[in-house]
């Protein structure tokens, strides 16, 4: 799916998290803002920043809202968010409806002071945990999993000497995908689920420590990448530096990183668990070239997410790489989508073919996925109208067939063209001259030795999943 399709189809990532802790006491709100800005692709529905002053009253100030970081924050609000320890979040709703109440970070007062929690991922046992908590007198004000996590940390904290141990104990109860950034009064804690579904990494700039969903956010704020948080690891950052707790880690073979981070979610310039995303996509393109060679004149990618895989296909096949499309970059949150009755189509408005490039050419067109098929069909039609003589479609992921319980918002089966059609049927429906999906076996080429989760393609879930899709249970 190209990025612009995401707007209409609802396939997307759920969250990005960011934390900053300036040991010298400087304000970090603007650093968190720019960090979130670099993670905006991970969630555009709502965002928030919570800061605390570790030297003074340790009062948590926060601001959250619906929309992009650009929309929610202005110079004035960043200035008011005074504090040297900050946590930020961008959200694409999966579990939990689009309500400002569900925006993160969640800020809670509990027995030991105030916590701010930013969470990326989806718990698989959230429903049971909520019920359990309710039976011991808990009340819930949001429908987000972060509230379940917060309760467990708060309750564990009653009987543990430190916040990080409380986090560890909570992790024994919660199942599923999570990358957490937590600010407790004088600590910043990062944690990643034992399977490593969601990414999290550490950065440093002068005396400021950073946690971020992706390394691109570390780079954006002018900091140095330190290392990834490991699956199952809890890192605690205090004035004394970083300490690590690996006691929740599981054997490496059981790890299950979301492969879609490499295919689509993460930014091309990020490196996750030592695998560069650009590199992974080039590899995917090369694999497609091996699996589905074709005689053609030009390889083109559907902007933005198909571009790198197209480059890989080009490099492996020797067919020249070309820029076939101009993408309108002004599509924002408030863009008015054409209605059915208007003769303009969303695809044409967002994407235009450069006739000069494709005229009279046999084209290999690479994209990262096909969801409903309509956008793909429209683009092929545009290419042919512009004079392309053949359009061979290559998709850098296998067909999407199974629901994800770990945080990726997949359309329901009825909307997924691959669910009820063969590849040949799809090829015909979209009007392609040939169609090739990434082979499941070749996914491993993208990420080297890393263990990953490909359940959405195979149905083989790395951990127990609920009987039915509960991702929207609390909406």
Interface of this chain with a second copy, residues 189 to 218, rule: CB under 8 A: 205-206, 216
Nearer to a second copy, 17 or 456 (CB): 17
Q: Please identify which residue in 70, 98, 274, 422 interacts with a second copy, judged by CB under 8 A.
A: 70
Where do we find the tokens 């900091």?
223
Q: Please identify which residue in 53, 128, 254, 269 interacts with a second copy, judged by CB under 8 A.
A: 269
Contacting a second copy within 395-434 (CB under 8 A): none
Residues 6+ away with beta carbon under 8 Å from 117: 87, 104, 105, 106, 107, 108, 146, 149, 150, 153, 180, 181, 182
Q: Where does this chain touch a second copy (CB under 8 A) — which range of 66-74, 193-201, 244-252, 404-412?
A: 66-74
Nearer to a second copy, 31 or 125 (CB): 31
376 belongs to an annotated ligand binding site: no
Q: Is 249 in the site for a second copy (CB under 8 A)?
A: no
- The whole-angstrom separation of Cα 48 and Cα 181 is 13
C-alpha distance from residue 203 to each of 18, 55, 82, 226, 273 (Å): 10, 22, 21, 5, 14
Q: Is 308 in the site for a second copy (CB under 8 A)?
A: yes
Whether 15 is catalytic is yes
**Site size for a second copy (CB under 8 A):** 87
Are the C-beta atoms of 400 and 369 separated by less than 8 Å? yes
Token pair belonging to 34: 């720019």
CB of 439 to a second copy, least distance (A): 24
- The whole-angstrom separation of Cα 237 and Cα 243 is 7
CB of 315 to a second copy, least distance (A): 8
CB of 371 to a second copy, least distance (A): 20
Nearer to a second copy, 41 or 462 (CB): 41
Nearer to a second copy, 322 or 462 (CB): 322
CB of 464 to a second copy, least distance (A): 25
Contacting a second copy within 141-170 (CB under 8 A): 141, 143, 150-151, 154-155, 158
> Roughly what angle, to the nearest 10 degrees, separates helices 374-385 and 423-430?
50
- The whole-angstrom separation of Cα 189 and Cα 55 is 17
Q: Is 41 in the site for a second copy (CB under 8 A)?
A: yes
Contacting a second copy within 428-467 (CB under 8 A): none
201 belongs to an annotated ligand binding site: no
Token pair belonging to 461: 């879930």
Q: Is 110 in the site for a second copy (CB under 8 A)?
A: yes
- The whole-angstrom separation of Cα 456 and Cα 438 is 13
Q: Please identify which residue in 334, 340, 449, 468 interacts with a second copy, judged by CB under 8 A.
A: 334
Exactly one of 15, 47, 216, 376 is catalytic; which is it? 15
Token pair belonging to 106: 């969640």
Tell me the CA end-to-end span of the chain in Å, nearest whole number: 26
Residues 6+ away with beta carbon under 8 Å from 247: 168
Q: Is 246 in the site for a second copy (CB under 8 A)?
A: no
Phi/psi zone of residue 448: left (φ > 0), alpha (ψ -120 to 50 degrees), beta?
A: left
Burial of 240 (0-12, 13-18, 19+ CB in 10 A): exposed
Q: Please identify which residue in 11, 307, 395, 438 interacts with a second copy, judged by CB under 8 A.
A: 307
184 belongs to an annotated ligand binding site: no
* Binding region: 258, 305, 367-368, 404, 453, 456
Bind-site residues for [4Fe-4S] cluster: 258, 404, 453, 456
Return the active site residues. 15
């Amino acid at each position: 799916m190209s990025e612009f399709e995401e707007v209409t189809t609802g396939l997307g990532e759920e969250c990005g998290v960011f934390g900053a802790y300036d040991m010298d006491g400087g304000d970090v709100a603007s650093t968190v803002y720019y960090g979130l800005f670099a993670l905006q692709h991970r969630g555009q529905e709502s965002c928030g920043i919570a800061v605390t002053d570790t030297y003074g009253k340790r009062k948590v100030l926060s601001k959250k809202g619906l929309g992009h970081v650009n929309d929610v924050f202005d110079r004035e609000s960043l200035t008011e968010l005074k504090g040297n320890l900050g946590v930020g979040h961008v959200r694409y709703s999966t579990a939990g409806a689009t309500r400002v109440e569900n925006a993160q970070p969640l800020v809670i007062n509990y027995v030991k002071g105030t916590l701010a929690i930013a969470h990326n991922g989806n718990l698989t046992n959230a429903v049971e945990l909520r019920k359990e908590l309710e039976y011991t007198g808990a009340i819930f004000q949001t429908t987000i999993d972060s509230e379940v996590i917060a309760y467990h940390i708060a309750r564990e904290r009653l009987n543990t000497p430190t916040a990080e141990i409380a986090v560890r104990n909570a992790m024994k109860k919660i199942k599923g995908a999570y990358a957490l950034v937590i600010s407790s009064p004088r600590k910043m804690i990062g944690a990643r689920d034992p399977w490593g579904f969601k990414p999290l990494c550490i950065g440093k700039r002068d005396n400021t420590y950073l946690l971020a969903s992706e390394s691109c956010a570390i780079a954006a704020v002018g900091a140095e990448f330190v290392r990834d948080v490991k699956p199952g690891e809890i890192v605690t950052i205090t004035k004394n530096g970083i300490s690590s707790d690996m006691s929740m880690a599981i054997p490496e073979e059981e790890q299950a990183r979301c492969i879609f981070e490499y295919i689509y979610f993460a930014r091309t310039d990020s490196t996750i668990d030592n695998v560069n995303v650009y590199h992974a996509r080039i590899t995917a393109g090369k694999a497609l070239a091996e699996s589905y060679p074709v005689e053609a004149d030009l390889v083109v990618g559907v902007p933005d997410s198909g571009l790198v895989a197209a480059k890989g296909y080009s490099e492996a096949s020797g067919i020249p790489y070309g820029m076939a499309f101009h993408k309108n970059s002004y599509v924002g949150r408030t863009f008015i989508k054409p209605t059915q009755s208007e003769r303009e189509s969303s695809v044409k408005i967002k994407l235009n073919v450069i006739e000069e490039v494709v005229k009279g050419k046999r084209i290999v067109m690479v994209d990262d996925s096909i969801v409903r098929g309509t956008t793909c069909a429209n683009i092929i039609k545009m290419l042919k109208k512009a004079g392309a003589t053949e359009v061979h479609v290559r998709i850098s992921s296998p067909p999407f067939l199974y629901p994800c319980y770990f945080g990726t918002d997949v359309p329901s089966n009825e909307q997924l063209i691959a669910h009820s059609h063969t590849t040949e049927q799809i090829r015909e429906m979209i009007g392609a001259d040939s169609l090739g999906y990434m082979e499941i076996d070749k996914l491993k080429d993208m990420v080297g030795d890393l263990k990953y989760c490909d359940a959405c393609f195979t149905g083989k879930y790395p951990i127990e999943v609920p009987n039915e899709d509960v991702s929207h249970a609390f909406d």
